[in-house]
Amino acid sequence: MRLTQRLALQSAIVATTLVAIILAAVEWRVRHRVEIAAAANALSEEAANGALLAAIRHDVAWASLFAVAVALLLARSFAHSLTVPMEELRDVARDLAGGDLTARPSRSLGSGEVGELGEGLRQLAEQMETRLWEMQSEEALLVALTESLNEGIVAVDARKRVVRINETGRQILGLRQALPFPASDLPQQSDLIDALQLVMTGAPPIFREIRLDDRTVALTVRALRGGGAVLAMYDLTQVRRLETVRSDFVANVSHELRTPLTIIGGFVETLQDDDVPPDLRHKFLGMAEANVQRMQRIVDDLLDLSRIESGGWRPAPVELELTEVAAEVFAPMQLRAGDKGVTLTTEFDPAALLVMCDPTAAGQILSNLAENALRHTTAGRVTIYSQREGDGIWMGVRDTGSGIPAEHLPRIFERFYRADPGRSREAGGTGLGLAIVRHLAEAHHGKVKAESTVGAGTTIAVWLPTPTS
């Protein structure tokens, strides 16, 4: 039964009881009066007294009904004035409990206990809203900080559930599950799982380097207050790869320079002997000069490669006519090609005669490719060609030389990589030409390709995009 109904019923009971008491008291008083009057008057007046008593009872009954009606109206009014603010406070409290922190009691509740309760509820709602806003701000800041890290962050609670993970952590671990999810969904790599279990059982922080699939990861695991642990992971794959590249590069450079230096040193030591015949002395000096030039080419190529990779060089593309570039490339090669019996030719697609490229880069690309082709071709042709494809142009060199085995093709654009090291050095190659070609192509937002058949020849080309007007 609602509060309003209970108050109204109780008021009605009280009013009815009071009326009944009043009626009983009045009737007793009337009877008393009648008895007194009857004793004093003649018995013939008994009927008149009965009629008077009935009239009094009738009047009292109507008066009582009226009193009850008035009492009910008053009780309902009093109950309504109390329950309306109480119901408002109840609705506000229900909304706050449901998460609507904008709910507020009205200021028309009046004074007294109900008004004080409404003011207290209003202050509570305002404090809750402020605290929630602060918590949301801190949560947003925490999310922004963790997402901005290059480290993967994973938080595991005391029930072994992953409750927080940033995007870097998802990428390192290959996870896409919605939070929270069980820690058993983490990669079951023994070093990772063992470190997590040890820390969650009270061990001190653990630092170790682990392997996750093809990644090298620096792992840090620390315990959280109240149970659980946080994992921090830094992907060292690129760092380790660069360290390997640097180590290989130093080793390759040392090896490439050691050979000509050894040769030059041997010739110098021999030439210090006054008994060396003039013709042999001349031959040794020529060979020493050739090795000095080889070291010079290696140094020049290294400087070019370093300048391109470091961003110190920026291409300035202009429209070039490939026939002119090819003529400049072939000019210094004509004598050597003639001595080897190799024909230098061009094959240009009429729709691909013009290319957007930095003039220096275009000459260096085709020169490196043509020099490589002539170096490995003993007879036949070396051809500079062009071909339109899509929204760009392929320009490159094909030859009829010895070819490159298929297993070497994916790596020929690496620095100092040679499919046949001995033969390449003997031919005078530095091992850096194709690496320079690849970097020049990428600087123009282009790409490279290599196709070869052993004994039939090789085709290496660069694709350069055609700017859209």
CATH assignment at residue 336: 3.30.565.10
pTM, to two decimals: 0.50
Asked if the model's pLDDT at residue 32 lies above 80, the reply is: no
List, as one string, the DSSP characters of 304-360.
HHHHHHTT------EEEEHHHHHHHHHGGGHHHHHHHTEEEEEEE-GGGSEEEE-HH
Contacts of residue 325, Cβ cutoff 8 Å, sequence gap at least 6: 359, 362, 363, 366
Q: What is the mean pLDDT of residues 12-33?
A: 68
**Domain stops at, among 102, 125, 148:** 148
Q: Which of 354, 310, 315, 318 shows the shortest CA–CA distance to 440?
A: 315
The angle, 0 to 180 degrees and rounded to 10, between the axes of the packed helices 359-375 and 433-443 is 150
Calculate the CA 10 to chain-centre distance. 67
130 and 168 share a domain?
no
**Domain stops at, among 264, 286, 309:** 309
Q: What is the mean pLDDT of residues 196-205?
A: 88
12 and 130 share a domain?
yes
57 and 77 share a domain?
yes
Percent of the chain with pLDDT over 90: 17
440 and 386 share a domain?
yes
Output the pLDDT for position 7: 60
Output the pLDDT for position 150: 79
At residue 43 the predicted structure's pLDDT band, cuts being 50, 70 and 90, is: very low
Amino acid at 162: V
Structure confidence by residue, pLDDT tens digits, 427-450: 455 677 888 889 889 888 999 999
Residue 294 in contact with residue 430, Cβ under 8 Å? yes
24 and 142 share a domain?
yes
Q: What is the CATH number of the domain that holds 221?
A: 3.30.450.20
Q: Which residue is it, tokens 């009815």?
A: 16
Measured CA to CA, the distance from residue 431 to residue 418 in angstroms comes to 6
Measured CA to CA, the distance from residue 345 to residue 366 in angstroms comes to 13
Asked if the model's pLDDT at residue 38 lies above 90, the reply is: no
Q: What is the mean pLDDT of residues 420-431?
A: 54
Output the pLDDT for position 100: 79
Q: Which of 336, 337, 308, 347 shows the shortest CA–CA distance to 442?
A: 308
153 and 252 share a domain?
no
Structure confidence by residue, pLDDT tens digits, 273-329: 777 788 888 888 888 887 787 777 777 777 777 777 666 778 888 999 999 999 999
264 and 332 share a domain?
no
Q: Between these two residues, 96 and 366, which has the higher pLDDT value?
A: 366
Structure confidence by residue, pLDDT tens digits, 109-163: 666 666 777 778 888 888 888 888 888 788 777 777 777 777 888 999 988 898 8
Output the pLDDT for position 461: 94
Residue 413 in contact with residue 438, Cβ under 8 Å? yes
Number of independent structural domains in the chain:
4
At residue 25 the predicted structure's pLDDT band, cuts being 50, 70 and 90, is: low
Range of the domain at 383: 318-465
Least confident of 11-15, 66-70, 359-363, 426-430: 426-430
292 and 204 share a domain?
no
Q: Which residue is it, tokens 């969650």?
A: 200
**Domain stops at, among 92, 115, 148:** 148
Q: Calculate the alpha carbon distances from 244 to 107, 301, 306, 393, 431 in Å.
A: 74, 21, 17, 35, 18
Beta bridge partners of 156: 162, 229
112 and 210 share a domain?
no
Output the pLDDT for position 460: 93
Q: Which of 360, 384, 359, 355 shows the shortest CA–CA distance to 372?
A: 384
451 and 347 share a domain?
yes
158 and 250 share a domain?
no
Q: Which residue is it, tokens 């052993």?
A: 454
Output the pLDDT for position 254: 74
328 and 284 share a domain?
no
Residue 131: how many CB atoms within 10 A of its CB?
11
